Amino acid sequence: MRVLAQVGEWFDRRLQLAVPIREVAEHPVPRNTASWWYVFGSAALTVFLLQLATGILLALIYVPSAGEAWSSLQALNHDITLGWFVRAMHGWGSNFMVAIVLIHMVQVFLFGAHKFPRELTWIIGVFLLLMTLGMAFSGQVLRFDQDAYWGLGIGASIASRVPILGPAIVKLMLGGPIIAGATLSRFFALHVFVIPGMLIGFVALHLVMVVKLGINEWPMPGRVVKRATYVSEYHELTKKDGAPFVPYAVWKDLFFAAFVLLAVAACALYFGPFGPTGRPDPTVIQTAPKPDYFFLWLYGLLSYLPPSTETPALLIGPVVAIAALVLLPFLSGEGEKSWRRRPIAVLTVMLIAVTLGTLTHLAGYTPWSPHMNAWSGDPVPDKFLHGTTALQRQGALVFQVKQCRNCHSLGDLGGQRGPALDSVALRLTEDQLIRQVIQGGGNMPAYGKNLSPAETTALVAFLKTLHPRTQSPARDASRDMVLGEEQNRRQESQR
Amino acid sequence: MPNENNISRRGLLMKLGILFNGLVATALAVPVVRFLLSSVARGRAGAYLSWVPLGRVNEFPEGETRLATFRNPFVGPTDGKTVDTACWVRRIGAEQFQVFAVNCAHLGCPVRWFPQSGLFMCPCHGGAYYRDGSRASGPPERGLFEYPHKVENGLITIQAGELPTPGASAALLRKKPPCAS
């Protein structure tokens, strides 16, 4: 023991770090911040360190070349001892990191920690979030498979919409005219050098400020932040009701950090690594690319924006969102910290969470995408064909062959791009059905040029049968006036 | 003057040192920026575009739309399979063609051709196009991107080399295919 102390002393005479480290470790924190609510920041740091470690391990094998990246991922998955596990840890670590950073941010916001004097800590936190998302996106590109290839295409399509500079930005992003070797190389540089370097610097700044300005006290309703008095009030609080960070509060951080690492490892073990999906060969077009989990909401949003608003929303939206986050501490730098007295803050968080959650959920089954194989894979259920005439059955055939099923479901089978047609005859009269099929409209293509009159007749005859037995199909009421109700009913049922 | 007395020899040397470093940094920034923007500068005058053969005309039956592949004219040393590109070739008449990019005009996902319904459908956000490439439905704001093409000695060639994107489309559209003029 004595030898150890002597060695320690020898080093510290030269490094002179023991005193500042002890000061940082033992700086007083308000007692009630030693809470399980205050563990997410250190957990985010822990996962970041895990990502650094697993990232370096992956770099031992991974080849950042468009021609070989995919094969090197296969080698990691299948040939190299526990390569799959390291990939899985890195992939799941990425998901955990985004999730924990988001939770940390929500907690900080709801506890009013972005207010004076911690504005800059919050702003740097916003940059850390953006960099984390940048890591998530560039990491998906390094998993150079079909999703990565077409995902880059989506990124390029978005970037190209910038007025005037768009095409130049695309070439800068791709490193050339197309998605190819240079593209992967520059995303490798971003993912491995540029963004992590910035992350390390900004994380260090973020931590220095947390220590210098002190951890945010537990918000009490009625304890209002004022620029003039806050700092002295905070110091008084830590003096009166403070405790040294180590060991008073740190044990919860330690436990939670270990728990998070275990959770990442458990997910990695149980679910395994992400992909890679098919080889990044642009001539293989039978693919439906999808982004990783934390970008699914964006994928969903992009399908719901009306075409005319898409470009402005894509270009202005992120600027507004980032500006709002950066300006937040200046707009509400004083006042109540407690969420109990900040209903709009709570509602905003809930609204954003519900919006992102809904879009993510929808992107899980993409109701807006046609089911490319439904026309040949999903048969018309029997019950829709019982007791039908030859013409109606011919119509059912037209319905399948012309790929109507790719967008319309019958008996819950088929695409959801268009409305389900199980009871379409209740909604549309014969004339309306003919018009809709031939002219399209309401987001449906016009089929006039692709259906012969005979095919249209058969198709509409089939569609007219699609209604529950107990309800009669829609009738054109205006004809009642001309023909009389009885006559009209009879005619409609004969057709 | 009292101000002059405040500038010491060492202070002046330090300022000159900073200025000197600034000048050197600016000079060094020129090659760095030119290196970083090389892919932009190179492609400015359409230098990435060139004419690529797609195949013999009789490989494409009249009235049908077929998938064709070509090798991008600009190949880097580490590109692998990524330079192989697909496109949809529609033969309207004997010498009349349309060549569409597979990239959806919405966000660039690969569209698939369905001859039975005469539609191109995109798997990502449900964009659909008619057989002539015009927009049918869904989020795209415009029709499919078309490569300029020409037919010579029974060979169809297209002008390609850049990833078609919605923003660059205006520039692409201005270049009329030679056979249309």
What average pLDDT does the segment A190-217 reach? 96
Residue A380 DSSP one-character state: P
- A264 and A381: one domain? no
Q: Which residue of B has its CA nearest to A279?
A: B81
Residue A302 lies in a domain: yes
User: Average of pLDDT values for A116-137?
Assistant: 96
Which residues from chain A sit within 8 angstroms of residue B39, using beta carbons?
Answer: 171-172, 174-177, 182
Mean pLDDT (chain A) is 92
pLDDT digits (tens, 9 = 90+) for B50-104: 999 999 999 999 999 999 999 999 888 899 999 999 999 999 988 899 999 999 9
Q: Looking at the partner chain, which of A281, A288, A407 has a beta carbon nearest the beta carbon of B124?
A: A288
Residue A215 lies in a domain: yes
Contacts of B112 in chain A (CB under 8 A): 285-286, 372
For residue B70, the tally of other CB atoms under 10 A from its CB is: 20
Lowest-pLDDT range of A35-44, A347-356, A389-398, A468-477: A468-477
- What is the enclosing helix (H) or strand (E) of A198? helix A195-213
Exposure string (b/e) for A343-357, b if CB count within 10 Å is 16 or more? eebeeebeeeeeebe
Contact status of B143 with chain A (Cβ, < 8 Å): no
- The Cα–Cα gap between A166 and A182 comes to 19
Q: Residue A277 domain-assigned?
A: yes
Across the A:B interface, residue pairs with CB atoms under 8 Å apart total 208
Would you say residue A272 lies in a domain?
Answer: yes
Per-residue tokens: A114: 């972005």
Partner-chain contact B118 A282, CB within 8 Å? no
CB A93 within 8 A of CB A47: yes
**Does some domain include residue A8?**
no
Same domain, A340 and A414: no
Q: What are phi and psi of B33, to 5 degrees?
A: -65, -40
Which of the listed CATH numbers 2.40.50.100, 3.40.50.261, 3.40.50.300, 2.102.10.10 matches domain B50-180? 2.102.10.10
Q: Which of A311, A337, A365 is the last residue of a domain?
A: A365
Q: What CATH number did the domain enclosing A285 receive?
A: 1.20.810.10
Q: Is residue A12 part of a domain?
A: no
Which residues of chain A neighbour B78 with C-beta distances below 8 Å? Answer: 65-68, 180-182, 184-185
What chain B residue is nearest to A417 in terms of C-alpha separation?
B126
Regarding whether A476 and A419 lie in a shared domain, the answer is yes
Sign of CA dihedral A34, A36, A41, A46: positive
Cis peptide before A276 (omega within 30 of 0): yes
Q: Are residues A117 and A253 in the same domain?
A: yes
Same domain, A360 and A389: no
| Helix A119-142 / helix A181-189 crossing angle, nearest 10 deg | 150
Q: Quick one: closest CA in A to B105, which residue?
A: A157
* Residue A114 shares a structural domain with residue A203: yes
Q: pTM higher than 0.95 for the full model?
A: no
Say yes or no to pLDDT of A63 above 90: yes
A180 to B76: CB separation less than 8 angstroms, yes or no: yes
Report the pLDDT value the prediction gives residue B3, as an integer from 0 to 100. 56
Suggest the residue from A70, A157, A311, A409 to mutate for an interface test with chain B (most B CBs closer than 10 A).
Answer: A157
Residues A341 and A232 in one domain: yes
Residues A379 and A232 in one domain: no
- Whether residues A426 and A355 share a domain: the answer is no
Which one of A336, A365, A394 terminates a domain?
A365
What is d(CA A3, CA A5) in angstroms, rounded to the nearest whole number? Answer: 5
Residues A346 and A385 in one domain: no
In angstroms, what separates the C-alpha of A182 from chain B's closest C-alpha? 8
* Chain-chain contact of B171 with A167 (C-beta, under 8 angstroms): yes
| Span A341-385, pLDDT tens digits | 999 999 999 999 999 999 999 998 888 888 888 888 888 888 888
At A493 the pLDDT is: 65
% of chain A exceeding 90 in pLDDT: 75
Q: Does A181 touch chain B (CB under 8 A)?
A: yes
Distance from the B7 Cα atom to the nearest Cα atom in chain A, whole angstroms: 35
Best of A154, A174, A186, A302 to mutate (most B CBs within 10 Å, chain B): A154
Cβ–Cβ contact B124 with A under 8 A: yes
Residue B173: CB atoms within 10 A of its CB come to: 11
Q: Which two tokens stand for residue B91?
A: 């033969």
Q: Do B141 and A170 touch (CB under 8 A)?
A: no
CA–CA gap between residue A486 and residue A480 (Å, rounded): 8
Alpha carbon of B102 to those of A174, A224, A404, A492, B152: distances in Å? 18, 59, 22, 45, 24
Q: In which element (H, E) is residue B54 found?
A: strand B50-56
Q: Note the pLDDT tens digit of each residue in A224-249.
A: 999 999 999 999 999 999 999 999 99
pLDDT of residue A487: 75
Residue ranges making up the domain that contains A424: 374-494
Q: How many domains, in total, are found in chain A?
A: 2
pLDDT at B181 over 60: no
A22 found inside a domain:
no
How high is the pLDDT of residue A382?
A: 87
For the ranges A186-195, A300-309, A351-360, B97-106, the lowest mean pLDDT is seen at A300-309
Separation CA A182–CA A436 (nearest Å): 48
B123 chain-A contacts, CB cut-off 8 A? 287-289, 369-370, 372
- The CA dihedral of A108, A114, A117, A122, to the nearest 10 degrees, is 90
Q: Are the beta carbons of A177 and B161 separated by less than 8 Å?
A: yes
Residue B130 and residue A445: Cβ atoms within 8 Å? yes
Restricting to B residues 61-120, those with a Cβ less than 8 Å away from any Cβ of A are 67, 69, 72, 74, 76-86, 102-103, 106-112, 114, 116-119
How many other C-beta atoms can be found within 10 angstroms of the C-beta atom of residue A288? 18
B72 → closest Cβ in A178, A375, A402? A178
Q: Are residues A97 and A183 in the same domain?
A: yes
Judge whether A295 lies within some domain: yes
A379 with A359, same domain?
A: no
Residue where one domain finishes, among candidates A338, A365, A392: A365
